[in-house]
Structure formats: structure tokens, C-alpha cells
Amino acid sequence: MQNNHKFHALINGELVSGTQQMPVINPSNEEILTYCPQATPEDVERAIGAARKAWPAWRDAPMEQRRQTLHAIADCIEENAEELQRWITLEQGKPLAGAAVETSQAPAILRYFAEMDLSPRTLQDDERQRAELHRRPLGVVAAIVPWNFPLVMACYKLGPALIAGNTCLIKPSPTTPLATLRLGEMIADLVPPGVVNILPDGGDVGPLLTGHAGINKVSFTGSTATGRAVMRSAADSLQRLTLELGGNDAAIVLDDVDVDAVAPQLFALAFVNSGQVCMSIKRLYIQSGIYDRMCDALAEQARDAKLGEGLDPETQYGPVQNRQQFEAVQKLLEQAPQHGRVIAGGNTYGPGYFVEPTLIRDIEEGNPLVDEEIFGPVRSLLRFDDIDEAIARANNSPYGLGGSVWTQDLTLGKQIACRLESGSAWVNQHFAMAPHIPFGGHKQSGIGVEFAEAGLHEYTAIQSVVIAK
Ligand code: NAD
């Protein structure tokens, strides 16, 4: 495969080379990787029109046809996994092993939703009336995707949208459109024209979709700030929304844990994807009895971590994905010595947007390093004595995506987990996602859930059908 592949958008079943092109940067060297089409407002209108036109036939198609289409898309990803992994690594920066997680989870989620049941439920059936609960598709879904997991997050939305009978527009992030565009090229002949459209943009198309009366639902994953803007613009046409937003997950580590065994797990779950995961561990609350030992063990992990270009098989951690994010992390790093003691990392280097895995100890709340979501490889190690105090501090955040408790006492662990104000609460693990387990945010981490039956239902409207006898 060559970097000079010519990319196309997918609009109304046609592969469109586009009237405008935009560069895509490789975050490992800051060079232009390639160019791809940049959707214009006219392209957006054409895609929405095509999705609207395709909707009635797709909505009324037999469930079996929709199932087969999802399995065919999943087959396509599996058959082309190696190529897709390479594009993900080149555009996103993550190591090939991380890209392989995307190309294995994407078909798994599509196949999971392909087998979901949406048949009506009987609510009442007696001499007076028969009442049934039906789930109807909503119409046209806009799937707006961030840059940290470009391919798999598009599929999180595509699977439930299509199986429920909606048509779909996927808008990748402006900095990571390539794997999604390749997927569009591969599936163009597998789906009826207009059912799936893919619109790469320079950052201007999101607001066109969220304010558009032709879009019935927006499934958005991204930052909390953008989520608010999406919600505001959805008001006019009362678009249905699923918002998967930012997180500042706490891990509460009790002093009965085996430090040597747990430190590598905590490190991996904090720094996975170079810290650019909504649901990674961001704040580590460590009980006093093991605080020093745990800080040392985590710092050793950080020093051993191999940073580099994602195509190098030795690389464990890639760069931060884009310049804007890199500069935001650099700014936070500058403040670190004022608020705590940097015990590993602390430096950035280039070319490429590389940030050493950084750990800050003896730090408390009340500064952006702890209070704000850091979307990069910088983590705070906070000391606590009392469990109630740790829970209160973990919950004292506008975010509520995930949280975890680490202890050998599973009963106590569960009790603490149940007191966390978060959509997911784990014991002795973190970021443990599976298609049959819903995930979503409490508080300002989001509205609605993805995955599982509850996630599928977000792409439907209830219709009560009541027949008098
Ligand atoms: P972002 O909010 O900047 O962008 C996300 C997407 O929204 C992009 O495709 C972008 O082009 C689009 N967009 C930007 N402005 C828009 C607008 N006004 N209207 C509509 N769309 C618009 O987020 P990002 O920087 O790409 O991703 C990082 C953020 O995403 C982090 O905060 C992270 O926590 C969050 N995230 C959340 C989850 C989750 O499931 N909760 C998963 C991954 C990432």
C-alpha cells in the first residue's frame, strides 16, 4: 500500500474525489501524509438529500437485509484489517497493536448489533385492547466522531443506526479521516446508495449537520465544550441526541493492593493511546500506606515506556494526535512544578508531537492538572487517608464518565464503586468495555449511552400501537 492512494468521500453511493482537497498530517513527523477531499456545504446538502431519499426503503427493508449488510461491512473490515491498521497508525499516531484493537473491535460491534432484536413487545392483551410497544427508526443520523479512535467509534454509531433502520452520515474528525474514507470506498457497493455517506471536513461541517432540519439524530462523541454547542444547535429542530463527552476518571487505590502487581495495570490504563482516551484513568487517588511505593513503581513504568513512531513494532506509545492538543498539553506541563513534583517525564520533543509519559506526585486539587480533563500522557498522583474522603474528592468533578476502585476486598470494592458518580464503575479494572455493557456519562460527561440494548434504543423512537377490541 502506498501513501499516494487517492481518497474519496462517499455520497449517495458514489465515490467523490471532491472539488477541494485538504492535507492530513502524520503526527509522528508533522509531515503531510496525504491529501483527501474536503466536503463543501453543497456536498453536505447532497449527502443529506441522499440519506433522506434512501431512508424509506431502508426503513422498510427486511431486518434480514440490514443484518446481512452489517455482517458484510464487518467482513470487509476484517478482510482489509492490515491496510486499515496502517492508515489508523499513520493518521492517528498509535502503535499498530492499538490500531489492530480498532480493526478487531469494529467488526465485533457491527456483528453484535446485526444480531439485535427489535421486534414489538406486547404490553397488554385482554378483552378490552391489545397494546404493543414498537421501536421505529428516527430517520437520518449524523455520526460525529473524534480523533482518538477514528474507525471503531464510527462503527459504534454505524451499527445501531443501520440495524434500527436509519440512514447515516459519518463525519470523521478533520485530523483523522483516512481510515474511515477507506472504509467508505470498500463498502460503497455493499450498501444501497445514500444509506451510508462519509463526509471528511476541515472543521466546518459539524455545525452544518447539527443545525440541519434534515437530520433527525446526532450521535456525537467529543469534548464537553463541543457537546454543549451541539446541544444548543439541536434545539431548533429538536434533533435527538446522544452525547459521549469528556471524562476525568478517578482510580481509588486502597493500601491492601499488591503494589508490584497493580502498578503496571494502573500505568497501562492511564497511558493507553498516549492518554488520549475519554475513559482512561486521569486522577489516581492512592492511600497513604502505599503512596510512596506506588509512586515509585509507576515512575519506573513511565521510565521503561517506549515512545516512538507507531509503525515501529517496538513502540508502545505514539505521539499526541495533533498540534492543538500538543500545545494544550505543553501548556499544562509548564505549570506542573508549581503544583507538585514531577517524578517521571515532563518533556516534549519533535519532530512529531511527542510527550514523555509524565507523573506528578504530591499534588492536590484546585489546579487544571487535576481538575481539567488532560487528553495526553500526563497524570496526577494524589494521596488520601480515609476512604470517604477519597470518594468525595473523586466525585467532586463536573465529569462523571468512569471510575475505578483497586483493592483485594471485592465486597468493599463494590460498595465504593457504587458510590462513584459515574456512568461506569469498575473494581480492579478500568476502561473495560464490551458490546453488551452500556457505557455513557453522568453529569457533564454526556447524555445517553452507547452499546447494548440501551444503546440501540437511542437510535429509535417508541411508538405505542393500541388496538381496541
Ligand atoms: P471535539 O469536540 O473537538 O471534536 C469532536 C468532533 O466534533 C470532531 O469531528 C469535530 O470536527 C466535531 N465538531 C467540532 N465542533 C463542532 C460543532 N460546533 N458542532 C458539531 N460538531 C463539531 O473533540 P476531539 O478533540 O476530537 O476529541 C477529544 C474529546 O473527545 C475529549 O474531550 C474526549 O474526552 C472526548 N471523547 C469522549 C468519548 C466518550 O465516549 N465519552 C470518547 C472519545 C473522546
Domains plus CATH for the chain? 9-245+445-468 (3.40.605.10), 250-435 (3.40.309.10)
Chain-centre distance for alpha carbon 158: 13
Q: Which of 244, 309, 356, 458 is catalytic?
A: 244
Q: In the structure, what pLDDT confidence band is assigned to residue 18 with cuts at 50, 70 and 90? A: confident
In DSSP terms, which residues pair with 447 in a beta bridge?
243
The DSSP bridge pattern shows strands 283-287 and 217-221 to be unpaired
What sign does the dihedral 421-423-426-430 (CA atoms) show?
A: negative
Q: Which three cell numbers stand for residue 27?
A: 503526527
CB count within 10 Å of CB 64 equals: 8
Backbone torsions φ then ψ of 432, nearest 5 degrees: -95, 95
Active site residue 278: yes
Burial of 54 from C-beta contacts in 10 A (0-12 / 13-18 / 19+): buried
Which pLDDT score is estimated for 2?
53
- Going from the C-alpha of 302 to that of each of 250, 383, 384, the distances in angstroms are 19, 19, 22
Reference 168, options 136, 202, 144, 134; nearest CA is: 144
Read off the pLDDT of residues 114-151 as tens digits, 9 standing for 90 and up. 999 999 999 999 999 999 999 999 999 999 999 999 99
Taking a C-beta distance cutoff of 8 angstroms, is the pair 156, 451 a contact? Answer: yes
Between the CA of 148 and the centroid of ligand 1 the distance, in Å, is 9
Q: How many Å apart are CA 109 and CA 111, to the nearest integer?
A: 5
pLDDT above 60: residue 403: yes
Q: Which three cell numbers stand for residue 220?
A: 456525537
Q: Has this prediction a pTM greater than 0.85?
A: yes
Which pLDDT score is estimated for 278?
97
Between the CA of 465 and the centroid of ligand 1 the distance, in Å, is 38
Mean pLDDT, rounded, for 289-303: 98
Secondary structure (3-state) at 33? strand
Closest atom of ligand 1 to 222 CA is 30
Q: Which three cell numbers stand for residue 249?
A: 476518571
Which residue's C-alpha comes closest to atom 22 of ligand 1? 206
Burial of 324 from C-beta contacts in 10 A (0-12 / 13-18 / 19+): exposed
Burial of 255 from C-beta contacts in 10 A (0-12 / 13-18 / 19+): middle
Closest atom of ligand 1 to 229 CA is 18
Q: Which of 91, 278, 356, 450 is catalytic?
A: 278
Q: What is the mean pLDDT of the chain?
A: 97
Burial of 409 from C-beta contacts in 10 A (0-12 / 13-18 / 19+): middle
Burial 329-342 (b: 16+ CB within 10 A, else e): bbebbeebeebbeb
Ligand 1 pocket list (CB less than 6 A): 144-148, 171, 173-174, 203, 206-207, 210, 221-223, 226, 229-230, 244-247, 278, 373, 375, 401, 441, 446
Which pLDDT score is estimated for 231?
98
Q: Give, for ligand 1, the residue of 232, 274, 276, 278 to mutate: max count of ligand atoms closer than 8 Å to Cβ.
A: 278
Between the CA of 307 and the centroid of ligand 1 the distance, in Å, is 25
